[in-house]
Amino acid sequence: MFGSRTPGDEEIRSMISAGNQEALVVLYRKHQLMLRRFVMKNQGSREDAEDLIQEVLVAAWQNAQKQEFVLSAGWGTYLMAIGRNLWLKQLRKQLRFSDKDPADAEKMSADVRPERMDLNKVVQLVDKLDENCRRLLTLFYFESLDMEHIALRMGYNNADTAKAKKYQCFKRLEEKVKTHYNKEDFFG
């Protein structure tokens, strides 16, 4: 349908609104690797990742069908937010039915994300960063790429340059968070 061209976020949104299920294929192709890496990095198997990806796509489709739906960030960021929430819920469910120490549950929850943190607030601020910072932070935090691979993808000279750029971008994000929010906004 699109040849070698990948539809943009607004076009995908329009496809979903029109009931065109090809949008799910596009979203899967663009974002499945990021979601799979996230699950596998956080105590999941490849099968867990595939199950989660399907759940994420169904949830995104259902949410986007609603008239009041607003995509305040890119689809990748939105899908990752859904994925993180669903995976954290799954980890907690697994721990309830296991013989693991409750301290392990707290560590796993902390590894995935603080329990009551409003990730959507951070996502909105990430979306306000310049394209290079958004891309770099997504590659590092959501796709779990190391600095060597990020340097290659972003066209930097080496991993040290990528690391310095990531630090600068993270500091910009941190400033935005501190300017717009206080601790109670996230953990209230």
Domain boundaries along the sequence of the chain = 1-115, 117-188
Residue 188 has pLDDT above 70, yes or no: no
**pLDDT value at position 97?**
58
* pTM of the complete model: 0.54
Mapped onto helix, strand or coil, the DSSP state of residue 158 is coil
Domain 1-115, CATH among 1.10.10.10, 3.30.499.10, 1.10.1740.10, 1.10.730.10: 1.10.1740.10
Mark out the alpha helices in 18-158 (DSSP H runs): 22-41, 46-65, 75-96, 102-112, 119-127, 131-137, 147-154
Cβ within 8 Å of residue 16, ≥6 positions away: 23, 61, 64, 65
Averaged pLDDT for residues 39-62: 89
d(CA 104, CA 51): 24
Residue 169 has pLDDT above 50, yes or no: yes
Instruction: Of 181, 183, 145, 184, give the one whose Cα is nearest residue 166.
Output: 145
**pLDDT value at position 3?**
54
Residue 114 has pLDDT above 50, yes or no: no
**pLDDT value at position 50?**
92
Q: What percent of the chain has pLDDT over 70?
A: 82
Mapped onto helix, strand or coil, the DSSP state of residue 122 is helix
Cβ within 8 Å of residue 44, ≥6 positions away: 52, 87
The least confident of 14-18, 107-111, 136-140, 160-164 is 107-111
Averaged pLDDT for residues 110-123: 54
Residue 180 has pLDDT above 50, yes or no: yes
**pLDDT value at position 119?**
64
Residue 89 has pLDDT above 50, yes or no: yes
Rg of the chain taking only CA atoms, in angstroms: 17
d(CA 95, CA 87): 12
**pLDDT value at position 123?**
75
Question: Fold identical between 1-115 and 117-188?
Answer: no
Instruction: Of 60, 74, 76, 52, give the one whose Cα is nearest residue 17.
Output: 60
Residue 107 has pLDDT above 60, yes or no: no
Confidence of residue 106 (pLDDT cuts 50, 70, 90): very low
**pLDDT value at position 110?**
44
Domain 117-188 has CATH 3.10.129.10: no
Residue 29 has pLDDT above 80, yes or no: yes
Task: Please check whether residue 81 is in contact with residue 119, taking contact to mean a CB–CB distance below 8 angstroms.
Answer: yes
